């Protein structure tokens, strides 16, 4: 039952790379590659996309999702990946806990080894340069804070709203939400306006939805 580490190892071997060579391509240490392959370390969203770019596969392929268009070694076919169900959030009622029943639109399957608490459907094209397209499902691990530059699900408080997915930057009392598409201007919140912004979780994975 392959997970991220199994898939990473299979793709590395498919391309004839040693752990040291892959580490050099990815800009990480050889020991980090070893820990990813043994499951001692989980990849961040950005790291997952980095490896997907290196191997020319989709990020969800690295998580074990089957892909008809991408050929892997026969011992790496993700035929029986264990899954769990997580809530898919819709419109979020103001003031309710994130996972309150009225906020949950459905439940979706998630590979069992991915640590996430809920999912969102990405709407629009604001995150396309991060590989996230309209209709993709993004998996979120609950957290009230993220590092600068990480992709997070964020609520801008109002009567009721949907969570937005953006890169988050905080500095000197200012919060900036940045899209991954130059057509969208950053959203900047300063002073009292910053109090309206609430990080609800870190993006850890996504899956493309086939039309």
Report pLDDT digits (tens) over 86-110.
888 887 766 677 887 778 888 888 7
pLDDT band, residue 82 (cuts 50/70/90): low
Active site residue 126: yes
- Neighbouring C-alpha atoms within 13 Å toward the C-beta of 66: 9
Give the pLDDT confidence score for residue 196 in this predicted structure: 86
Closest of 94, 99, 133 to residue 118, by C-alpha: 99
CATH of span 85-207: 2.10.109.10
Give the pLDDT confidence score for residue 73 in this predicted structure: 46
Active-site position among 166, 174, 192, 211:
166
For residue 121, give both structure tokens. 């459907």
User: With a threshold of 0.75, does the pTM exceed it?
Assistant: no
Active-site position among 126, 143, 174, 192:
126
Q: Is 118 within 8 Å of 98 (Cβ atoms)?
A: yes
Evaluate if residue 210 carries a pLDDT over 70: no
CA–CA separation, 81 and 89 (whole Å)? 24
Ranges of each domain in the chain: 4-73, 85-207
Mean pLDDT of 22-51: 86
Query: Between 172 and 77, whose confidence is greater?
Result: 172
Domain 4-73 has CATH 3.40.50.620: no
Closest of 45, 62, 10 to residue 140, by C-alpha: 45
Mean pLDDT of 112-123: 84
User: Per residue in 46-81, pLDDT tens?
Assistant: 888 889 889 888 887 787 765 544 444 444 434 445
CA–CA separation, 137 and 114 (whole Å)? 14
Percent of the chain topping pLDDT 90: 20
């Amino acid at each position: 039952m392959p997970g991220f580490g199994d898939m990473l190892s299979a793709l590395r071997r498919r391309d004839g790379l040693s752990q040291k060579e892959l580490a050099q391509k990815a800009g990480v240490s050889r020991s980090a590659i070893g820990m990813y392959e043994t499951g001692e370390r989980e990849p961040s969203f950005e790291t997952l996309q980095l490896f997907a770019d290196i191997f020319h596969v989709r990020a969800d392929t690295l998580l074990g999702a089957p892909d008809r268009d991408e050929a892997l070694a026969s011992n790496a076919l993700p035929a029986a990946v264990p899954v769990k169900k997580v809530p898919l959030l819709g419109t979020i009622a103001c003031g309710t806990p994130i996972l309150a029943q009225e906020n949950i639109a459905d439940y979706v399957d998630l590979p069992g080894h991915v640590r996430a608490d809920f999912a969102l459907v990405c709407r629009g094209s604001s995150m396309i340069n991060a590989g996230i397209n309209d209709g993709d499902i993004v998996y979120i691990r609950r957290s009230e804070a993220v590092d600068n530059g990480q992709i997070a699900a964020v609520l801008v408080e109002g009567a009721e709203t949907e969570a937005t997915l953006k890169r988050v930057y905080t500095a000197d009392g200012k919060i900036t939400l940045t899209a991954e598409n130059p057509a969208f201007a950053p959203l900047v919140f300063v002073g009292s306006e910053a109090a309206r912004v609430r990080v609800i979780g870190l993006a850890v994975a996504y899956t493309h939805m086939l039309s």
